[in-house]
Chain A
């Protein structure tokens, strides 16, 4: 998995690319989310359009980011979720936990 990020209107946008399956790769996303929190950046959107698939390790990282951000007065929202990942979110009922937007712009606007 590769990871890039940028800021738009005070919201951090994370763009993972590839597969999130566990192992050393997965810690990169976890660490980046927790670095944002440490820097006081508490509004985060993860653009999942370039993630081929993820397993429960990836879902656990999303949950960890979500709960930590919410406990610190922020939030984590998802954008451009692929069909495969949406199916996993549905199976695990996490679709009821995450706010999920069709595009990054709408996800950013939802913070205002």
Chain B
């Protein structure tokens, strides 16, 4: 389900793994409409698919009845994208350092690190009704 006004668009998807590519297509289409460079589109797509993966798997535990909401807000020279799930929340500070020698060969655990590296800002909030909201921003000009 998608919604939009002049400067913001959103999509709500159920928690199935196939929804990651649905969100990516939605995101990239809207970014391309704004003539944003391929390099920035790739960074945003990488970050958002990381966060949607996390929301589906770790937040909503792949429970299809639980939703993930992705909202894209275009501002003057930047875009803010928020990803909200209906899970139990988590503490991002407790994630092990993926570039520590002992973690380098682990198959998982790099998503949040990559998001932090590619985005200009990353903010976590935990709405009182439950769930996790992650908002990222990136300059687009």
Say whether B114 contacts A55, CB under 8 Å: yes
Interface check A53, CB cutoff 8 A: yes
Cβ-closest chain A residue relative to B19: A23
Closest beta carbon of chain A to B38's beta carbon, Å:
9
User: Contacts A21-B24, A92-B110, A97-B104: A53 and B17 contacting too (C-beta < 8 A)?
Assistant: no
Interface check B82, CB cutoff 8 A: no
Chain A residues touching B, range: 20 to 34
Say whether A21 contacts B49, CB under 8 Å: yes
User: Contacts A23-B18, A91-B114: A57 and B106 contacting too (C-beta < 8 A)?
Assistant: no
Closest beta carbon of chain B to A42's beta carbon, Å:
18
Complex interface residues of chain B between 86 and 139 (CB less than 8 A to chain A): 98-99, 104-111, 113-114, 117
Binds B, one of A33-41, A59-67, A73-81: A59-67
Interface check B46, CB cutoff 8 A: yes
Closest beta carbon of chain B to A11's beta carbon, Å:
23
Complex Cα–Cα for A64 and B107 (A): 6
Say whether A23 contacts B105, CB under 8 Å: no
Complex Cα–Cα for A64 and B39 (A): 27
Cβ-closest chain B residue relative to A90: B117
Say whether A53 contacts B53, CB under 8 Å: no
Complex Cα–Cα for A50 and B40 (A): 18
Complex Cα–Cα for A24 and B19 (A): 10
User: Contacts A52-B42, A60-B110, A93-B99: A22 and B49 contacting too (C-beta < 8 A)?
Assistant: yes
Q: Residues of B contacting A64 with CB < 8 Å?
A: 107
Q: Mark B13-54, 1 if CB is under 8 A from A, else 0.
A: 000011111001000000000000001001001100110010
Closest beta carbon of chain A to B129's beta carbon, Å:
27
Q: Mark A81-96, 1 if CB is under 8 A from B, else 0.
A: 0001000100111101
Q: Mark A41-55, 1 if CB is under 8 A from B, else 0.
A: 000000000001111
Extra contacts besides A52-B42, A88-B114, A93-B104 (11): CB < 8 Å:
A21-B24, A21-B45, A22-B17, A23-B17, A23-B20, A56-B50, A56-B53, A56-B110, A91-B114, A96-B104, A97-B105
Closest 9 CB pairs of A and B: A56-B110, A60-B107, A21-B49, A56-B111, A23-B17, A23-B20, A93-B99, A53-B42, A22-B53
